Amino acid sequence: MNPSYLAEARRSFREYKMLAEGAFAQLRAEEWTRQIDPESNSVATIVKHMAGNMRSRWTDFLTSDGEKPDRNRDQEFILDAATTSQDIVGWWESGWNCVFTALDALREEDLNRRVRIRGQEYTVLEAVNRQVTHYAYHAGQIVFLVKHFRGAEWKSLTIPKGQSAALGANMEAARRERWGNGNDRPSSS
C-alpha cells in the first residue's frame, strides 16, 4: 500500500473544497438559491446535500454505518425560504470539518479495514475514494452553475480559456531556465 494515499486523499478533498469556494466568491447573494430550471439544484441545495452526506459518512467513520439513521437525505434538497448565505457557508464548513476530522484520525493501516455504507461493506480505501469522487462531482456542479451565472464576468479558477499555449510556453521557459537544454538534467535513476 502506498504510504502517501491518505495525504493524497486529503489533498484532493482540499482541492475540491477550494475549487467550490472559488466559485462561491463569485456568487451574488441572490444566486445561492437560484435554479437554472425547476428540476435543477441551486448552489445552496448542493451544499446542503454535501454537508448532510459529509456528516453522515464521516461521523464515527470506522465504527458506524455511513448512512446514519437520523439523516433525512430528501430534506437536503429542500431549502427554507429564510436560508441565508451564512447558513449555507456554515453547513459547508461543518461538513468539511467532519471529513477532515475523520481523515486526520486514519492511519495507513486502516485502509484495508471494512466499513459500511447503507449496509454495504467497503474497505476504508474504497469508501474514501467513493467520497472523493462524490464531492468532485458536486464541486463541478457548483463551478458550472456559478460560471453560468457570471457569463463573461467569470474569473477562471484554473487555466483561463485561450491561455493554455501561453501557460505551456511559460512552463517550457521555466524548465529551460532550470535544466538548460535537457543535457544537464539529473538522471531519474
Whether residues 47 and 114 fall in one domain = yes
Residue with C-alpha cell 543535457? 183
pLDDT band (50, 70, 90) for residue 152: very high
CA angle in degrees (0–180, nearest 5) for 85-91-96: 130
Does the reported pTM lie above 0.75?
Answer: yes
Structure confidence by residue, pLDDT tens digits, 83-111: 999 999 999 999 999 999 999 999 999 99
Whether residues 94 and 46 fall in one domain = yes
Task: Give the domain range for residue 48.
Answer: 5-156
Largest Cα span, the chain? 65
Position 103 scores a pLDDT of: 97
> Is the four-CA dihedral 101, 103, 107, 113 of positive or negative sign?
positive
Instruction: Compute the average pLDDT of residues 57-81.
Output: 96
**pLDDT > 70: percent of the chain:** 88
CATH, residue 27: 1.20.120.450
For residue 189, pLDDT beyond 50: no
The rounded distance, in Å, linking the Cα atoms of 47 and 20 is 10
| Domain total in the chain | 2
